[in-house]
Structure 1
Amino acid sequence: MSRSTAAEAPWMVLVGPAGAGKTSLGREIAARAHRPFVDLDAAADSYYAQVGWSIARLRGRIGAVGRPTAEAEWEPARAHAVACVVIDHPGAVIALGAGHTSYSDHQHLATVRTALEPCREVIRILPHPDRDISLAVLRRRCTASKGRSWIIDGRDFLAGWVDDPGTRTVATRTVYTLDETPAQTAARLLGNG
């Protein structure tokens, strides 16, 4: 897999925990900037299949070994998906799901970091600068929109994503959405709000 140059890289990549609003914000930014939008969570199945994974296999492994162990086994497929989406979508606005920048194995994080290096902007999205406020807002959003708190098998995935050092290292900056709508945050990020 060859590395992208800055000219061939995605125009903007959004990272952060579940419930941060990456998809809504990404769609808004892409529309305003006249760029294609890619949500890796929606597009990743074909990339996972290239390395022998699928969401069905992940579900099966979760049932067999529990979510934390299955997530660790799935890491190579997630890193592969990030590397591929960066190459396949130059000039796009891309939203990466929370797990696509959070790894227990440093080798997989290094793969993602290398893939994202040519990207002009990799923006970490959080609701608030205060960690506990962010976590409370995200938990409320995830419970309301997906019916899940992200506390699974005794592990708080949402807190892990908020605190994840890997996500911070791949980001070029962190943006706090506070009480803004996606349109307001997009306007601010694009310098016309």
Structure 2
Amino acid sequence: MVSNIILIGPMGAGKSTIGELLANQLGIPQCSMDELRLGYYQEIGYDEELAKQKRETGGLWSICQYWKPFEAYAVERLLSEYKNCVIDFGAGHSVYEDTSLFQRVQKVLEPLPNVILLLPSPDLQESLQILNDRNEYVPDGSPNINEHFLSHPSNYLLAKFTVYTKDKAPQETCNEILNLVLKR
């Protein structure tokens, strides 16, 4: 049996799509952090009204900063609860500016051999352009969140493998990941 396969990466990298393919091919469940996160956030006092206010006044960047302590907690909870699954993180669940939050996530991911960073390309500018196109990014004066996710060291420090998706069909990426995790 394969241990958890954790997919991390920026928004639009293909984590959910590839996660579904992997889960189907391996015959194991897929757990999507984006579907489960709110329940975990609420366990430690997540305030939906405050989040809404932050989103309205400060945009995506502001709410992403509010989510950080909730995201670290959600990672810990999800990984304590789900075993032998394909888990696709939300883009922010693997990127932390706060050292103590990063260390918490690093601690729970450290023993897991199959933490895979999905990126379009090894070239960060090319990756950003591909992701911006996929996400229909329109500059709004706020920092480009995917640019932050690509340039921040967290994903690179957490990942055991990096898989590039440019010019590959989702099934090709799935097969590449299967070759990585099954040969261990």
Structure 2: state its 5+ residue gaps.
none
The whole-number CA distance in structure 2 between the counterparts of 1:10 and 1:48 is: 25
1:183 aligned onto 2:171: yes
Give, in angstroms, the shift of residue 71 of structure 1: 2.5
Equivalent in the alignment of 1:128: 121
Give, in angstroms, the shift of residue 142 of structure 1: 0.8
Q: Percent of aligned positions with the same letter in both sequences?
A: 29
Equivalent in the alignment of 2:87: 94
SS of equivalent to 1:155: coil
Matched to 1:35, the amino acid is I
Task: Kindly provide the CA deviation profile for residues 101-153 of structure 1, in whole angstroms up to 9, marking residues without a partner as x.
Answer: 1112111111111111121210000011111111111110111xxxxx17454
Equivalent in the alignment of 2:7: 14
- Structure 1 range deviating more: 60-69 or 160-169: 60-69
SS of equivalent to 1:159: helix
Equivalent in the alignment of 1:60: 53
SS of equivalent to 1:160: helix
Give, in angstroms, the shift of residue 69 of structure 1: 3.8
The whole-number CA distance in structure 1 between the counterparts of 2:107 and 2:66 is: 21
> What is the aligned-residue RMSD (CA, Å)?
2.1
User: Structure 1 residues 70 and 36 mapped into 2: Cα distance closer, same or farther (>3 Å)?
Assistant: same
TM-score, scaled relative to structure 1: 0.85
SS of equivalent to 1:125: strand
Structure 1: state its 5+ residue gaps.
1-6, 144-148
The whole-number CA distance in structure 2 between the counterparts of 1:55 and 1:174 is: 34
Matching residue within 67, 70, 74 for 2:67: 74
The whole-number CA distance in structure 1 between the counterparts of 2:148 and 2:140 is: 12
Task: Kindly provide the CA deviation profile for residues 66-120 of structure 1, in whole angstroms up to 9, marking residues without a partner as x.
Answer: 5434422321101000111111111111000111011121111111111111212
Give, in angstroms, the shift of residue 65 of structure 1: 4.9
Equivalent in the alignment of 1:160: 148
User: Structure 1 residues 140 and 65 mapped into 2: Cα distance closer, same or farther (>3 Å)?
Assistant: closer
The whole-number CA distance in structure 1 between the counterparts of 2:134 and 2:142 is: 20
1:112-127 equivalence runs, <5 A: 112-127=105-120
Matched to 1:73, the amino acid is Y
Give, in angstroms, the shift of residue 187 of structure 1: 1.3
User: Structure 1 residues 11 and 164 mapped into 2: Cα distance closer, same or farther (>3 Å)?
Assistant: same
Q: Is the 8 A contact 1:10 1:89 kept in 2?
A: no
Aligned residue pair count: 180
